[in-house]
Structure 1
C-alpha cells in the first residue's frame, strides 16, 4: 500500500470517528497509535508514551493554566464590568460609541485571558443588555460581540498560539509578539467599519442622550479611567519583565495570574466562590488541551514517519506545477472551508501538523504562518453553519436573536478578517517586525 493511500485512510478513519461523536483527542490518538502499530509493529506503541514524555518536558505548557485562570478570575470578579462602564461613559456620546467601546473592551480582555469563550461570555452578559437597552440594531450588536470576542485567540497571551507553538515547535514568545500588530490592526478595522456604518446610518447605533450625558460629572469620567488602567497594568506587569529578559515565559504567566488575583482582592471581589469556579474551569480546560496536544503529537509523528510533508509538496509543486504562493493560498482556502464545519482545536489537530510540515518544506516563516493560521481560526469561529461563536451567541443571547440574525450579523466582520488576512499575506512584516526587532537586541 502506498504512503499516500495510508495517509488518506488515516484521515478518513479519524473523520468517521468524529462524525460518530467520539472526542477529538480520542479519535486522533486512537488512529495514531493503531496505524503506528500496523506500520512499525510493537515498537509503534511507544509513540503514545513518547508523546506524553515530550508533553511533560514543554515548560511553555505551564503558561496555559495561568492564562485560563486569569480569564476566569477577570470574568467572575466582575473586573470587566468596571471596564465597560468606563467605555460607556467615554464613548457613549458618539454614534456607534458603545459598539466601539465593546471592541476596545474585548481587546483589553484578550490581553488578559487568551480565550475567545471568555470574551464571548463577558460581552454577552455585560455589553449585550446595555446595547439592547440603547436601541442598537440587532445585527450590529450580534456582529460586534462575536467578532470582538474572537480577538482573544490572536492578541497575546493567546492560548491557540501556545498550542500552535507546541505542534509547530516554534517559540511561543515570538508568536505572541507576532500576534500583537495583526490583532490591533484587525480591531482598528472593526472600529473603522462601525464608525463608518454609524455615521452613514446613526439609527443603527444611536448615541446616549444629552440628558444622560449631563448626569455624568467630569470627575466621575476621570475616576473611571482607573478601571481602564487596571488591565494595562496587569498586562505590563506580565509582559515587560518577559520582553526585557528578566523573567521566563512561565514566570511571566505566573506574575500575570498573581497580579489579576491581587487586583480582584484590591476590589474585595476575590471570594471563595470566584476562586472555586476559576480553579475548576481552569483544570477542565487545561486537561482537555493536554489530551488534544498529546494526540496531535502522536498523529504528527506517524505523518513524519510516512514522509507526508514531502509527498504533499511533490503533489502540489511537481505533479500540479503550482508555485509556493499558490499552494499557500490553497492551504488558507482549505482552512476557511474546514472552519465552516470544524472548530479551531479540531483544525489544529487534524490539519496543522501536515500544513506546518508543508509550509516548512516551502520555506515559509513558521512564525508568520502561525499568525495566518490563527486568523483563519478566527474566521472559523464566525462562519456558518457550525461556527463556535455562532452557537455561543445563540445560547447566551435573548430569544429575539435567532440564528438568521446571528448568521447575517457576522458577514461584514468576516470580510474585515479576510482583509486583514490578505494584508498580512502581502505585508508579512506586519507580524514579523516586532519579534525580529526585539530578538535582534
Structure 2
C-alpha cells in the first residue's frame, strides 16, 4: 500500500470514529498508535511515549491551567456580573447600548479567560435575559452574544492560540500579541454594526427607561470600580511580560494569583467558589493535554510517512496552484470542518499537514495562526452545524428557536469574513505588534 493511501486511510478512520461519538483525543490517539504499530512494528510503540515525554517536558504548558484558573475564578466569584452591571448603567441611554456593553464585556471576559465557552455562558445567563426583558430584538441579541463570545479564542490570553503554538512549535507570546489587534478590530466592527443598525431601526435596541437611568453621578462613578480589578490584573499580567520582567509562565502565575486575591478582596472566595473553579480548571486542562498528546503522536506518524511532502507536491506540481490559492483552500476546509467539529479537533486533524505546508509556501506561521483562529470563529457560527449555534440553543430561553439563532449570525459572519480578508491582505495588522515588542 502506498503512503498516500495509508494517510487517506488514517484520516477516514479517524473521521468515522469521531462520527460515532468517540472523544477527539481517543480517536486521534488510537489511529496514531495503531498506524505506528502496523508501519514500524514494535518500534512504533515508542511514538506515543516520545510524544508524552515531549508534552510533559514542555515548560510553557504550565500557562494553560493557570490562565483557565484565572478566568474561572473571576467568573465564579461574580466579578464578571459586576462588570455587566457597570456596562448596563453606562451604556443604557444609547439605542443598542446594552448590546454594545455586552460586546465590551465579552472583550474583558476574553482577556480574563481565553475560552469562547466562558463568554457564551456569561452572556447567555447574564446579558441575554436583561436585554430580552427590556425589549431588545431576540434575533439581534442572540447574534451579539455568539459573536462576542467568539472573541475569546482570539483576544489574549487565548487558550486556542496556546494549543496552536504547542502543535506548530511557535512562541505563544508572539501568537498572543499577533491576535490582540485583529481581536480588537473585530470587536470594533461589531460595535459599529450595532450602532448603525440600531440608529436605522431604533426598535431593535430601545434605551433604558428613565427611572433606571436616573442615578446620582457619584453612584455611577462608583460602578466603574467593577472594572478596576479585572483591568488591573490584565495590565499587571501583560505589562510585566511585554516589558520583559517576567516570562510567559510567570505572567500566568501572576494572573491566577491576582484573580484569587481579587476574589478575597471582594470577600467572595468561598469554599464553593474555590471547589467549582478547581474542578472546571482540571476538566479543561486535562482535555487539552490529552488532545495535544494525541496530536503529537499523530503528527509523528505523518512526519514518518512523508505526507506533507506528498501534499505539497500534489498542490504545487500536479494541480499547479499558487501559494495564495492553496491558502484559501485551507481556510475553506476549516469552515467546512467547523460545521461538524470544534476548534481543537480541527487543528489536531489538519495541523500535521497544514502548518509545515504553510511554512514551505513562504507564509509566516504566526500570521497563519491568526488566520486560522478567525476562520474558526466563522466556522463556529456557520449553519447548519456550527459549534456555537447548538451551544446557544442549549442556553437560550424557549422563545428563541434554532431558526432565530441561524438568522442572528448572518451579519456577524459576514463581518468576520470581511475581517479575515483584511488580515489576509494586510499581514502587518497581525505582525506589527509582535515585531514591535521584539524590536
Counterpart for residue 254 of structure 1:
253
User: How far did 1:217 drift?
Assistant: 1.2
**Residue pair 1:114, 1:158 contacting (<8 A) in 2 also:** yes
TM-score after normalising by structure 2: 0.99
Residue 433 of structure 2 corresponds to residue 439 of structure 1? no
Counterpart for residue 98 of structure 1:
98
User: How far did 1:117 drift?
Assistant: 0.7
**Residue pair 1:93, 1:208 contacting (<8 A) in 2 also:** yes
User: Secondary structure of 1:157's partner?
Assistant: coil
**Residue pair 1:237, 1:259 contacting (<8 A) in 2 also:** no
- Matching of residues 211-360 of structure 1 within 5 Å: 211-214=211-214, 216-360=215-359
Counterpart for residue 154 of structure 1:
154
How far apart are the structure 2 equivalents of 1:138 and 1:352? 38
How far apart are the structure 2 equivalents of 1:83 and 1:170? 34
Tell me the number of residue pairs that the alignment of Structure 1 and Structure 2 aligns.
439
**Structure 1 residues 315-369: Cα deviation after superposition (integer angstroms, max 9, x where no partner):** 1111111110111011111111111111111101111221111101111100000
- Matching of residues 37-436 of structure 1 within 5 Å: 37-214=37-214, 216-436=215-435
How far apart are the structure 1 equivalents of 2:399 and 2:61? 41
**Structure 1 residues 363-382: Cα deviation after superposition (integer angstroms, max 9, x where no partner):** 11000000001111111221
**Residue pair 1:310, 1:361 contacting (<8 A) in 2 also:** no
**Residue pair 2:115, 2:153 contacting (<8 A) in 1 also:** yes
User: How far did 1:182 drift?
Assistant: 0.4
**Residue pair 1:136, 1:204 contacting (<8 A) in 2 also:** yes
How far apart are the structure 2 equivalents of 1:6 and 1:299? 13
RMSD, matched Cα:
0.9
How far apart are the structure 1 equivalents of 2:36 and 2:384? 34
**Residue pair 1:342, 1:380 contacting (<8 A) in 2 also:** no
How far apart are the structure 1 equivalents of 2:98 and 2:337? 33
User: How far did 1:402 drift?
Assistant: 1.3
How far apart are the structure 1 equivalents of 2:167 and 2:160? 11
**Structure 1 residues 189-218: Cα deviation after superposition (integer angstroms, max 9, x where no partner):** 00011111000000001111233322x111
User: How far did 1:107 drift?
Assistant: 0.2
**Residue pair 1:308, 1:354 contacting (<8 A) in 2 also:** yes
User: Secondary structure of 1:227's partner?
Assistant: helix
User: Secondary structure of 2:320's partner?
Assistant: coil
How far apart are the structure 2 equivalents of 1:289 and 1:211? 47
Question: Which region of structure 1 is more displaced relative to structure 2, 336-345 or 425-434?
Answer: 336-345
TM-score after normalising by structure 1: 0.98
How far apart are the structure 2 equivalents of 1:353 and 1:418? 25
User: Secondary structure of 1:108's partner?
Assistant: helix
**Residue pair 2:96, 2:205 contacting (<8 A) in 1 also:** yes
**Structure 1 residues 63-106: Cα deviation after superposition (integer angstroms, max 9, x where no partner):** 11111111111111110111111111111101111000000000
User: Secondary structure of 1:184's partner?
Assistant: helix
How far apart are the structure 2 equivalents of 1:387 and 1:260? 32
How far apart are the structure 1 equivalents of 2:219 and 2:378? 39
Question: Which region of structure 1 is more displaced relative to structure 2, 229-238 or 43-52?
Answer: 229-238
User: Secondary structure of 2:224's partner?
Assistant: helix
**Residue pair 2:64, 2:285 contacting (<8 A) in 1 also:** yes
